[in-house]
Amino acid sequence: MGLFHSLSGNTKGALIMMLSMAAFVSNDTCMKLMSGEVPLYQLLLLRGVLATTLLLVIAAALGQLKFRMPRRDAMLILLRSGAEVGAAYFFLTALFNMPLANVTAILKSIPLVLSLASWAFFKEPLGWRRMSAILIGLVGVLLIINPGREGFNSYSYYALTALGFVVIRDLTTRKLTGAVPSIMVTIATSVSVMVAFGTASLWQEWVPMTARHNALTVASALFVCLGYLTSVMVMRVGQISFVAPFRYTGLIWALLLGYVVFGFWPSTQTLIGAGIVVGSGLFMLWRERQLSRKPLAGTVRAAAAPRG
pLDDT in tens, 182-210: 888 888 888 998 999 899 888 888 999 99
Residue 293, amino acid: R
Q: 298 lies in a domain?
A: no
Q: Is 207 left (phi over 0), alpha (psi -120 to 50) or beta?
A: beta
How many alpha carbons lie under 13 Å from residue 240 in its C-beta half-sphere? 28
Q: 21 lies in a domain?
A: yes
Q: 83 lies in a domain?
A: yes
Q: How many domains does the chain have?
A: 1
Q: 247 lies in a domain?
A: yes
Q: Which one, of 284, 240, 296, lies nearest residue 113 by Cα? A: 240
Q: 206 lies in a domain?
A: yes
* pLDDT for res 216: 95
CA distance 95 to 81: 21
CA distance 112 to 134: 6
- Asked if residues 160 and 104 have their Cβ atoms less than 8 Å apart, the reply is no
Q: 296 lies in a domain?
A: no
- Asked if residues 277 and 140 have their Cβ atoms less than 8 Å apart, the reply is yes
Burial class of residue 128 in the structure, from the number of CB atoms within 10 Å of its CB (0-12 exposed, 13-18 middle, 19+ buried) = exposed
CA distance 180 to 64: 9
Q: Is 8 left (phi over 0), alpha (psi -120 to 50) or beta?
A: beta
| Average pLDDT for the chain | 79
Q: What is the DSSP letter of 245?
A: G
Q: pLDDT tens digits for 255-305?
A: 788 888 878 776 777 778 778 877 877 777 677 667 666 654 444 444 444
CA distance 217 to 81: 22
Answer whether 0.85 is exceeded by the pTM: no
Long-range contacts of 195-200 (CB under 8 A, 24+ apart): 195/48, 196/85, 196/88, 196/89, 197/41, 197/44, 197/45, 197/48, 197/88, 198/41, 198/44, 198/45, 198/48, 200/41
Q: 302 lies in a domain?
A: no
Q: pLDDT tens digits for 134-156?
A: 788 778 777 766 665 554 567 77
Q: 118 lies in a domain?
A: yes
Q: pLDDT tens digits for 64-73?
A: 787 788 888 8
- Asked if residues 274 and 158 have their Cβ atoms less than 8 Å apart, the reply is no
Range of the domain at 69: 9-291
Considering only CA atoms, give the Rg of the chain. 21
